[in-house]
Amino acid sequence: MKKIFLPLLLMFFISACHAQKEENPFVGHWVEIMPINKHIVQGINLNADGTASSIGMETLKYEQWKVDGKTITLKGKSIGNGQTIDFTDTLDIIEISPNSLKLGKFGQYRVDYYRVEEIPDTKDMNNLSNLLQKFDGCGDLQTRVYKGTLPAASNPGIVYEITLYNYQNSGDGVFKAKLTYLEAQNGKDGILEFSGRQYTLKGSAEDKNATIFQFIPFDNKEETMNFLYQGDKLIMLDKELKKIPSQLNYTLSEV
Query: Is 7 domain-assigned?
Result: no
Q: Is pLDDT above 50 for 105?
A: yes
| Sequence letter at residue 223 | E
Report how far residue 88's alpha carbon sits from residue 201's, in angstroms, rounded to the nearest whole number: 37
- pLDDT tens readout for residues 222-249: 899 999 999 999 999 999 999 999 999 9
C-alpha–C-alpha distance, residues 117 and 175, integer Å: 19
**pLDDT, average across residues 128-155:** 88
Q: Is the pLDDT of residue 122 over 70?
A: yes
CA distances from 230 to 37, 212, 245, 251 (A): 28, 9, 18, 10
pLDDT, tens digit (0-9, with 9 covering 90-100), for 40-80: 788 999 999 999 999 988 889 999 999 999 999 999 999 98
Does any domain span residue 245?
Answer: yes
pLDDT at 57: 86
- Residue 8 pLDDT: 47
Of 116, 147, 168, the position where a domain reaches its end is 116
- Are 157 and 243 contained in the same domain? yes
What is the extent of the structural domain holding 109? 25-116
The domain that holds 106 is classified in CATH as: 2.40.128.280
Q: How many CB atoms neighbour CB 208 within 10 A?
A: 8
Structural domain includes residue 209: yes
Instruction: Say yes or no: 112 and 176 in one domain.
Output: no
Are both 86 and 162 inside the same structural domain?
A: no
Instruction: Let me know whether 44 and 101 are in one domain.
Output: yes
| In a shared domain, residues 162 and 239 | yes
- What total of structural domains would you count in the chain? 2
* 249 and 141 in a common domain: yes
Q: Does residue 13 lie in a domain region?
A: no
Of 63, 87, 116, at which residue does a domain stop? 116
**What is the predicted pLDDT for the residue at 12?**
46
> Using an 8 Å Cβ cutoff, are 234 and 250 in contact?
no
Which of 3-12, 113-122, 129-138 is predicted with the least confidence, judged by mean pLDDT? Answer: 3-12
The reply to whether 143 and 56 lie within a common domain is no
Residues 152 and 247 in one domain: yes
Q: Are residues 193 and 244 in the same domain?
A: yes
Identify whether 2 is part of a domain: no
Is the whole model's pTM more than 0.75, yes or no? no
> What is the tens place of the pLDDT at every residue in 145-168?
999 999 998 889 999 999 999 999
Based on the fold, state whether residues 166 and 91 are members of the same structural domain.
no
Domain match, 111 and 175 both = no
More confident residue, 112 or 160: 160
29 domain-assigned: yes
Residue 3: inside a domain? no
* Residues 87, 188 within the same domain: no
Tell me if 78 is assigned to some domain.
yes
